[in-house]
Amino acid sequence: MKLATWNVNSLKVRLPHVLKWLEDNPVDILCLQELKTVDEKFPLAEIEAAGYHAVFSGQKTYNGVAILSRHPMTDVVKNNPLFEDTHQRIIAATIEGIRIICVYIPNGQSLDSDKFVYKMNWLKSLHEWVKAEMVRYPQLAILGDYNIAPEDRDVHDPAAWVGMTHVSAPERNAFRDLLGLDMKDAFRMFEQPEKLFSWWDYRQMGFRRNAGLRIDHILLTQPLAARCTECVIDKVPRKWEQPSDHAPVIATLS
């Protein structure tokens, strides 16, 4: 089974990319973030024609998450029931006995902003909800855009990012707290080449210079981690015309 996550930065713009990528990479489950479209305009017919079921929670202009699956989905939950939020940032479903949680974690803007306070409160509540979910679902995966680069090796130039969001101690501690629930970062379970990232700024030729961050992650509970045989970042779609600024991340389970 292959699980993947991809922040598409507008499903309306990137739908041809998603369909092409799924044709070339027929994963079992694909979590999408930043749909930037309302539910009424979700391209369900096109997704189903590609062989996938879909559950989604959209929002005009901002946010929005979806899970695409080759298998039926049950027990769908939108948003964290422990955190009141008008932003559509979480959707969860059970697929083939695996609890899939798709997340689009807030950006945070700057360390002295109200948006950073919101991000940290959001992460704290996510931790509490996931902890409870793990009791019900021992096989659980959290896939998505975390907007956190867990370590300096996940940053193209750590010195240039000092004092900024994505790399601050509170954010990294929150990420470690999730791992502390006995979860594994699938990507770091394997030896990886240096300077592998999943996001590159559109500005200043970020992708061409490989000036990126690894902020898209797949976290697995121990039963799933024991089945994980590979985790990779697919940079190919970032080279396409009008790409998302993120690349897909794929974990393979035996």
On the 0-12 / 13-18 / 19+ scale of CB atoms within 10 A, 20 is middle
User: Do residues 32 and 11 lie in contact, with contact meaning Cβ atoms separated by under 8 Å?
Assistant: yes
Helices (H), 101-225: 114-136, 169-179, 222-225
- For residue 245, the one-letter residue type is D
Q: How far apart are CA 29 and CA 32, in angstroms?
A: 10
Catalytic residue among 52, 104, 137, 146: 104
Q: Is 104 a catalytic residue?
A: yes
Q: How is 34-70 classified by DSSP, letter by letter? A: ---S-GGG--HHHHHHTT-EEEEE--SSS--EEEEES
Considering the candidates 145, 185, 216, 245, report the single residue annotated as catalytic: 145
Positions marked catalytic: 104, 145
